[in-house]
Amino acid sequence: MKNKILLAASVLLLSTACSTNPITGKKEFNIVSNEQLFPAAFAEYNTFLSQNKVITGTAQSQMVERVGVKIRQAAEKYYASKGLSNLLEGYKWEYKLVDDKAINAWCMPGGKIVVYNGILPVTKDEAGLATVMGHEVAHALANHGAQRMSASQAQAIGAAGLALATSGQSAERQEMFQQYYGIGSQVGVMLPFSRSHESEADQIGLTLMAIAGYNPDNAITFWQRMSAQSGGGSTPEILSTHPSDATRIANIKKLAPQAKSEASKLGVKFN
């Protein structure tokens, strides 16, 4: 009886946690609220900064701040145009350049951004940096962090449900079912879920950089440089959390005109 109650509760939780994301227009699964997520993200951000060397007072750090402010203003303008300004409540924007040779940048839920100086030789200029920062901010705006946490919790609930359903089987069969479930949920659900997030972040990020005044065509050349940096990538797309370089660049070429159109609605013009 307890098993049936637990399974029913799990199904109810998963089925009621689906809603439409107002910025992407797509269905999302999210059981983690910003009220829960932001304080933890802010604390983790402060811990990270205390443990790493933050670069200040240089031309590069000032560029990160300048581009970050423009992307934030673009997000605020974009959301206001759609009547969604309330979705940015609780954001505490911050932009830091960190001394790390990794080619990386990220934005935590709530607008906490870090750019590693190792990526600057690839971004080259403000437009390249706007591509990266727009993309990372887009992950936060689209609630991707919360969705991934929710998906991981759902994956764990599914494993627990499978364990209950097969509790009468032998230990060997239970282990076999769990292995099949783990592989199937990872390759069939979790990895495509992550790849879709990357594509969504590309689309939203292009719009943000365009509204910020940076021609989104520059995103194409940035990702071409990234592809050259990584040697084109060796991990098969189906086993990756990111789209292949070729897929990403092709998608961006298709999305750039749409980003320009969104920006033009808000008075931004490109030659």
The span from the CA of 14 to the CA of 10, in Å, is 6
Out of 28, 94, 126, 136, which one is annotated catalytic? 136
Q: Distance between CA 144 and CA 108 in Å, rounded? A: 10
Question: Is residue 136 a contact partner of residue 93, using CB atoms and an 8 Å limit?
Answer: no
β-strand pairing of 105-108 with 112-116: antiparallel
Residue 249: its H or E element: helix 245-265
Alpha-carbon distances of 184 from 67, 132, 178, 239, rounded to whole Å:
41, 32, 10, 12
Give alpha helix (H) positions in 96-242: 120-123, 126-141, 144-165, 171-185, 191-211, 217-230
**Angle subtended at Cα 22 by Cα 84 and Cα 24, rounded to the nearest 5 degrees:** 120
Q: Is the dihedral of CA 84, 87, 90, 96 positive or negative?
A: negative
- Report the C-alpha gap between 205 and 152 in whole angstroms: 25
Residue 136 catalytic?
yes
> Environment class of residue 143 by beta-carbon count within 10 Å: exposed (0-12), middle (13-18) or buried (19+)?
buried
Contact predicate 94/45, CB 8 Å? yes
Closest CA to 115 of 134, 97, 89, 135: 97
Catalytic residues: 136
